[in-house]
Amino acid sequence: MTPCCRPACPDWLAEHWEEWGAEFAQRLAANVSYCFSWKQWHGQRVNQRLLPLLSAMTEGHCAYCDWFPMDTGTDPTIDHFKPKARFPHQVYCWDNLYLCCRHCQEKADDDYTDQILRPDEPSFRFAVFFIYNYSDGTLSPNPDASAVNRERARLTIEILKLNSRGRPAARKREINRFRALAAAERSTWIPLSPFRYLLWDEMRESPSV
């Protein structure tokens, strides 16, 4: 998870999100198996309108695992941070929407808690909450963090499944690839690579090859 800054909610969404959310909540209440689908607004689906904005927020990376680029197999999709079934009124809430890879969309929604970290949380820094284990590519809560922050990190790893679905092996692979680069190439490489939060650290720790 790499920190990012959320831009202001687009006016058209600010104007309609409550009404659209209430509409979905009502349909879901009438039929528990009602399936969410994005509304059409002025000839275009809302998710298609929002994708470029959310993609700009995370520079095209998955908001949760930082995967990049999102191509075949990991097509970008918009995730509802607070799951749709439990928070139907928030399905169009700007703060609840994130660019997300297909793998991360399979997060454990049933276990959702407000404790999960968000990349656009103003105080979020990877190193405050997590450590990276070079031996196996996994993330762990930072043992030096406060008990509250350690618990938040633990829940984030577990619910967003940051240590499964091939992510640890992919982290190790990307770090090895990065280490093989010439020093001059490194800073231009990072924005186009997954796991930026690890590579920035890596560049600080071992500035030359």
Residue 94 neighbours by CB under 8 Å, 6+ apart: 6, 9, 10, 13, 14, 17
Choices 99-107, 120-128, 132-140, 158-166; region in contact with Zn ion by CB under 5 A? 99-107
Minimum Å gap between C-beta 153 and Zn ion is: 17
Binding pattern for the stretch 14-53 against Zn ion, x by CB under 5 A and - elsewhere: ----------------------------------------
CB 61 within 8 A of CB 194: yes
Using CA atoms, how far residue 61 sits from 10, 92, 103, 138, in Å, is: 21, 21, 13, 19
Amino acid letter, residue 106? E
Q: What is the DSSP letter of 139?
A: E
Q: Which stretch in 59-67, 126-134, 158-166, 168-176 sits in contact with Zn ion by CB under 5 A?
A: 59-67
In whole angstroms, give the CA distance from residue 167 to residue 170.
5
Query: Which CB sits closer to Zn ion, 20 or 129?
Result: 129
Q: Which is closer to Zn ion, CB of 13 or CB of 153?
A: 153
Instruction: Examine residue 116 and tell whether it contacts Zn ion (CB under 5 A).
Output: no
Binding site for Zn ion (CB under 5 A): 62, 64-65, 67, 101, 104
